[in-house]
Amino acid sequence: MDPLLISRLFLFALATPAFAALLGLLLRRVSWSNTLTQVLFALSGLVGLGAVALLALEMFAGSLSSLQIGGLGVLQPLGVPFLGIIYAGVLLTSFYSIAALAKYKEIYVLPWLNVASALFLIGMQAVVLAPSVLTFLLAWELMSIAAYFLVIADRTEDSLRAGFLYFVMTHLGFLALAAGLLILSGGNPLLSWAELAQGAATLGALPLSLAFALLFAGFGSKAGLVPLHQWLPYAHPQAPSGSSALLSGVMLKVAVFGFLQSLTFFPSLLFPWMLVVLLLGLVSAFFGALHAAVENDAKRLLAWSSIENMGLIFAGIALYFLTSGTAALAPLAPLFALFVMLHILNHFLFKSGLFMAAGVIQSATHTRDLDSLGGLARRWPLFSGVVLALSLAAAALPPLGTFFGEWALVQALALGLGAGDPASRFTALLVLSSVALVGGLAIFAFVKFFSLVFLGRARTEAAEHAGALSWILATPVAICALLSLGVGLVAFPLISGIPVGKLFGAEVVVAPGAGIDPTLVALILAAPALALWLITRVLRTKIRITDTWDCGAPLTPRMQYTSTGFAAPIRFFFRTLLGARREIITTPVVASNPWVTKKHLDWQIHSIWEVWLYKPLGHGIVRVAHSVRRLQSGVVQFYLLLVLLTLILTLFIAL
């Protein structure tokens, strides 16, 4: 295929969103303007996906190692899968938004929301394509600012507050990125990546360390790593659901891309820093999973789970670099790379699907509160099956794709118990334990998510009367679920090096004694269940539909467990780490009789990072500001003295 044609396709995909948004703005009086814009967005995603596929084929064949895209930049192999995820995300969410946004014409100003979306899409693509420091920073800022407008799109108090938090955090992150990149480039923002890497090779250990810390802080804050994660669970859920899917499913991957790309600039010095990345990744994964397990807001639960998965991905990246440098551990490195690649893909699929599903649920029931939902599986049997598949994928259970990615991670860690020096073996043991704990909590969170929304009886009127489901809304979610299954059956063996012709029924053996066969896994799980189902058909059992066993007193929907109740054991077990507090407040109804009382349970959980890090930091800054204020005495002579002192100091330093 002609490289020029492929690069033109990329240019088309890059430019179309802007054109679509402008068209939507011009035609904003027309009733089908949103549909037109979204269809054009989807078209750009489709064309982009096609270009990515063509380019990937060329690269596999070895006829092309990088691609010049117009005058904009050079696409390196690293960027190709990330662009693929961006375009797939655009395609799915735009199709979804045709129907999803149409319901919210009163709340969102659709033409301007679409302008923000278009800028966001262009920004994300530009980050991946950016050839130099300056263009990268501009693209990053475009993406971040556009995301801010997506977060505050409904202009409610909550959104504005979440948006403000996001705005501050993303700019702190931007400053760190700019500083880190400028240290590497020697202060010249116009350097291309190749020149930057050359320059960085001559830097000493101290500036390199500083640059790494700043870059990690910048990309980590965007990816929601602890302790810079505080904004993510507030900001991502506030955007319209299609945009939430893009923010959590796609933008976080762009942060991963940025981090991976910046790692290529560091000639050495990775080892100690990678331990920091590993530690923070695991801590993020743990806190993300823990908060997801006790969260009651459907979309916020998904956002917490994004923190968990980003933590795992960063931990995987760190493990890759920690192992690839040592001869004894080098055989494990490809397994960690396999995990990172699969998990980026899997997390994109199930998180986008689940955010869109949460949007469907929210628009039908007008709530995201898990305590108020329930019983939707009887109303939407097919859709609930799709969400069940996605929830199982999010919980990393077989036979869905996520399981195979995490299998590679766990397998590599377990192999690490028997390789390398004692320190690395015991590190592997501890990492394996934390990954297992995170996995357990993730299963908890997503079983809770699915069963509270879909099973049992509706807990409120709104959930009881959820209307019919539009197929436009359900299709992208179903595609995500199908692809999740496909990742396990096709992508996992393919990336592991099984030739295309033998994808099904081939065992992926990653080390002597460690192998798994995805087809057999699917078969061994599906065949007995199906056989049993056929056998029970023969019995022709008579079924009587009755009430739930109620011990003689009629049950009400309120007697079911709520999300709060379901997570009570986890809240109790981890109460110290959650800052959980509960008290039963008893108020006498009649003042004269202390026995007739009204009881009410008051409970809350905190982010301990907020209590132990953010608040002391904020107080500290305020205190410093207070002491600085003492200088402001209003006496002119004092100010003159200060000017004089500054002058003397400056002269002293300059001479």
Partner 1 sequence: MTILLPTLLILLASPLTVGLVRKFKALFQNRRGASIFQPYWALLSLLRKDMTITRYSSWVFHTVPFVVLGSTIALAALVPAVPIAGTYGNVFLIAGVLALGSVFLVLGGMDTASTFGNMGSSREMSLIALVEPPLFIVFASLALFAGSFGMGDIIAHFTSATAGSHVLTAVTLIALFFVVLAENARYPVDNPATHLELTMVHEAMMLEYSGPYLALLEYASAIKLTVLGTLFVSLLLPSFAASGTVLALLFLGKLILAAFLVAFVESTIVKMRFYRMQEYMALAFLFALGGAALIILSKLSGAV
Pick the closer one to partner 1 by CB: 158 or 507: 507
Pick the closer one to partner 1 by CB: 421 or 610: 421
Q: How far apart are CA 347 and CA 249, in angstroms?
A: 7
Residue 523: CB partners within 8 Å, gap ≥ 6? none
Smallest gap from residue 496 Cβ to partner 1 (A): 14
Answer yes or no: are the C-beta atoms of 562 and 371 closer than 8 Å. Answer: yes
Pick the closer one to partner 1 by CB: 143 or 292: 292
Smallest gap from residue 574 Cβ to partner 1 (A): 8
Pick the closer one to partner 1 by CB: 305 or 411: 411
Pick the closer one to partner 1 by CB: 56 or 455: 455
Three-state DSSP at 603 gives strand
Q: How far apart are CA 312 and CA 406, in angstroms?
A: 9
Nearest to 344 by CA among 276, 251, 410: 251
Three-state DSSP at 92 gives helix
Q: Is 50 exposed, middle or buried (0-12, 13-18, 19+ CB in 10 A)?
A: middle
Smallest gap from residue 365 Cβ to partner 1 (A): 16
Smallest gap from residue 543 Cβ to partner 1 (A): 5
Smallest gap from residue 532 Cβ to partner 1 (A): 5
Q: Which pairs count as long-range contacts for 331-338, CB under 8 Å and 24+ apart, including other chains?
A: 331/415, 331/419, 331/511, 332/412, 332/415, 332/416, 332/419, 334/510, 335/408, 335/409, 335/411, 335/412, 335/415, 335/510, 335/511, 336/408, 336/409, 336/412, 338/405, 338/408, 338/495, 338/496, 338/510
Answer yes or no: are the C-beta atoms of 336 and 225 closer than 8 Å. Answer: no
Pick the closer one to partner 1 by CB: 95 or 450: 450
Smallest gap from residue 539 Cβ to partner 1 (A): 6
Instruction: Report DSSP letters for 222-277, one per residue.
Output: HHT-TTS-TTHHHHHHHS-HHHHHHIIIIIHHHHHHHHHHHHTT--S-HHHHHHHH
Smallest gap from residue 369 Cβ to partner 1 (A): 17
Smallest gap from residue 382 Cβ to partner 1 (A): 9
What does the CA dihedral 12, 340, 316, 230 come to, rounded to 10 degrees?
Answer: 50
Smallest gap from residue 453 Cβ to partner 1 (A): 10
The amino acid present at 468, given as its one-letter code, is A
Pick the closer one to partner 1 by CB: 185 or 346: 346
Q: How far apart are CA 239 and CA 222, in angstroms?
A: 16
Pick the closer one to partner 1 by CB: 180 or 399: 399
Q: How far apart are CA 239 and CA 245, in angstroms?
A: 9
Answer yes or no: are the C-beta atoms of 371 and 296 closer than 8 Å. Answer: yes
Pick the closer one to partner 1 by CB: 216 or 450: 450
Pick the closer one to partner 1 by CB: 176 or 393: 393
Q: How far apart are CA 212 and CA 583, in angstroms?
A: 45
Element of type H or E holding 464: helix 461-464
Letter string b/e over residues 499-534, b meaning 16 or more CB atoms within 10 A of that residue's CB = eeeebeebebebeeeeebbbbebbeeeeeeeeeeee
Dig out the tokens for 485 from the structure: 């299954």
Nearest to 180 by CA among 143, 137, 144: 137
Pick the closer one to partner 1 by CB: 174 or 403: 403
Pick the closer one to partner 1 by CB: 546 or 637: 546
Smallest gap from residue 536 Cβ to partner 1 (A): 6
Smallest gap from residue 490 Cβ to partner 1 (A): 18
Smallest gap from residue 412 Cβ to partner 1 (A): 11
Smallest gap from residue 399 Cβ to partner 1 (A): 9
Pick the closer one to partner 1 by CB: 553 or 622: 553
Smallest gap from residue 568 Cβ to partner 1 (A): 7
Dig out the tokens for 225 from the structure: 């790593």
Pick the closer one to partner 1 by CB: 382 or 645: 382
Q: Is 462 exposed, middle or buried (0-12, 13-18, 19+ CB in 10 A)?
A: middle
Answer yes or no: are the C-beta atoms of 237 and 230 closer than 8 Å. Answer: no
